[in-house]
């Protein structure tokens, strides 16, 4: 199946039973697949009037007790950003897949890009943290959809799947295991006395259990700075407590969250750091470089946010150069440069998208870095 369909299948396998969405190329196939399949599992698909309504309906459905997902591409992602900030503040677990295409604006609806990577991290206003995963195959679209739901439930946070048009429309074999072999994190439901329930906890590392609206619990949820009951508490002291919690619940658990794939890093002179479809293209360049006798390692980012700062700092002190190919004019390379801190060369191999790189471009950068 293709990557877009695999996203829907992964969501269903993770227990997602509600999907509010709006069609947008090149992500529409995910919504269509979910709409087709959800009656078979007792789910509900709603096509909303636009992307703003879609993301807002999903926030509401979470507090009604559902695992939820939506899918979009760049223009829709932009429209959803205000409500994503609301979901972060309300600590609402949900999954959003962004099948990236060329921009800005309506740009290249049918062609590939990786231009939304920084928007995923910084797109809404205020200080908060999110989790973003990047698949490089239809199989990973399925696998990471499940992981995205598990992470969202564990940390009560929106989780992004930052795929792209090429991976979304790429057809490959996808292995879907028997249900009993799939590890699914269920929502942490509160079980104590109703009068003692608090929807929020501000200890930095953990999150409070949830309840379903309508089950008789008295609580509030708002985008305003709020206390543990969820009621507005508009003081600098409370804001510091809330925002620090939103950041620390991700950053203090970063080592548990971050996933990378390593190959040939030991003894490497040059390391290629890539993600998504670009990591598939980089394989050819690395193979050719190794044939030429160059010592080249690979670090593939599966988790982009939070960023693998420790790993980059460690590599920067050992290698001559880090090469970063990506289908934008330099986004994740900025994080690599920040973490490398001038200890090695950082070479950006950028492209505005529309088509994937020619492997020769990446190979040329590897050779430059090895000098």
The answer on pLDDT for 102 being more than 70 is yes
Q: Which two tokens stand for residue 125?
A: 């206003």
Structure confidence by residue, pLDDT tens digits, 68-92: 999 999 999 999 999 999 999 999 9
- Confidence (pLDDT) at 47: 97
pTM of this prediction?
A: 0.97
**How many Å is the maximal CA-CA distance in the chain?**
70
The length of the chain in residues reads 371
Which ranges constitute the DSSP H helices of the chain? Answer: 3-13, 28-41, 51-63, 74-89, 117-122, 138-155, 165-169, 236-251, 254-257, 277-291, 309-316, 332-340, 359-370
CA distances to 30, 202, 289 from 121, rounded to whole Å, are 23, 22, 33
In angstroms, rounded to a whole number, what is the distance separating the alpha carbons of residues 296 and 285?
10
Structure confidence by residue, pLDDT tens digits, 297-338: 999 999 999 999 999 999 999 999 999 999 999 999 999 999
Average pLDDT value for residue range 47-63 = 97
Structure confidence by residue, pLDDT tens digits, 197-256: 999 989 766 899 999 999 999 889 999 999 999 999 999 999 999 999 999 999 999 999
| CA-based end-to-end distance of the chain | 43
C-beta neighbour count of 331 within 10 angstroms: 21
Pairing of strands 18-21, 94-102: unpaired
CA atoms 331, 337, 340, 344: torsion sign: positive
Domains of the chain, earliest start first: 3-181 (3.40.50.970), 259-370 (3.40.50.920)
C-beta neighbour count of 115 within 10 angstroms: 23
- Confidence (pLDDT) at 276: 98
- Confidence (pLDDT) at 219: 84
In angstroms, rounded to a whole number, what is the distance separating the alpha carbons of residues 123 and 110?
23
- Confidence (pLDDT) at 174: 98
Structure confidence by residue, pLDDT tens digits, 8-31: 999 999 999 999 999 999 999 999
Share of the chain above pLDDT 70, in %: 99
In angstroms, rounded to a whole number, what is the distance separating the alpha carbons of residues 65 and 25?
30
Do the Cβ atoms of 139 and 311 come closer than 8 Å? Answer: no
CA distances to 131, 133, 157 from 251, rounded to whole Å, are 10, 16, 13
Do the Cβ atoms of 169 and 104 come closer than 8 Å? Answer: no
């Amino acid at each position: 199946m293709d990557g877009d369909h695999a996203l829907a299948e992964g969501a269903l396998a993770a227990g997602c039973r509600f999907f509010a969405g709006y069609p947008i190329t090149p992500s529409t196939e995910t919504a269509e697949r979910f709409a087709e399949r959800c009656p078979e599992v007792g789910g509900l698909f709603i096509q909303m009037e636009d992307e703003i309504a879609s993301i807002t309906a999903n926030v509401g459905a979470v507090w009604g007790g559902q695992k939820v997902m939506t899918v979009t591409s760049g223009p829709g992602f932009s429209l959803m950003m205000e409500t994503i900030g609301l979901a972060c503040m309300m600590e609402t677990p949900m999954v959003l897949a962004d099948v990236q295409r060329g921009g800005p604006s309506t740009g290249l609806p049918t062609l590939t890009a990786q231009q939304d990577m920084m928007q995923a991290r910084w797109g809404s206003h205020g200080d908060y943290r999110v989790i973003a995963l990047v698949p490089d195959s239809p199989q990973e679209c399925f696998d990471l959809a499940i992981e995205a739901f598990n992470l969202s439930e564990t940390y009560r946070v929106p989780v992004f799947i930052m795929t792209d048009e090429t991976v979304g429309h790429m057809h490959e074999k996808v292995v879907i295991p028997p249900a009993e072999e799939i590890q699914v994190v269920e929502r942490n439901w509160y079980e104590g006395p109703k009068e003692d329930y608090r929807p929020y906890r501000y200890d930095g590392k953990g999150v409070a259990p949830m309840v379903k609206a309508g089950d008789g619990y008295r609580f509030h949820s708002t985008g305003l700075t709020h206390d543990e009951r969820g009621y507005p508490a508009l003081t600098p002291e409370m804001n510091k407590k809330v925002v620090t919690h939103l950041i620390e619940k991700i950053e203090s658990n970063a080592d548990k969250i971050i996933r990378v794939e390593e190959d040939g890093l030991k003894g490497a002179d040059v390391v290629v750091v890539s993600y998504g479809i670009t990591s598939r293209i980089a394989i050819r360049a690395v193979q050719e470089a190794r044939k030429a006798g160059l010592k080249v390692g690979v670090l593939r980012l599966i988790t982009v946010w939070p960023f693998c700062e420790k790993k980059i700092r460690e590599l920067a002190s050992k290698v001559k150069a880090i090469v970063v190919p990506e289908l934008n004019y330099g986004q994740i390379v900025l994080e690599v440069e920040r973490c490398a801190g001038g200890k090695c060369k950082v070479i950006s191999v950028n492209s505005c998208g529309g088509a994937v790189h020619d492997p020769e471009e990446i190979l040329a950068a590897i050779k430059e870095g090895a000098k």
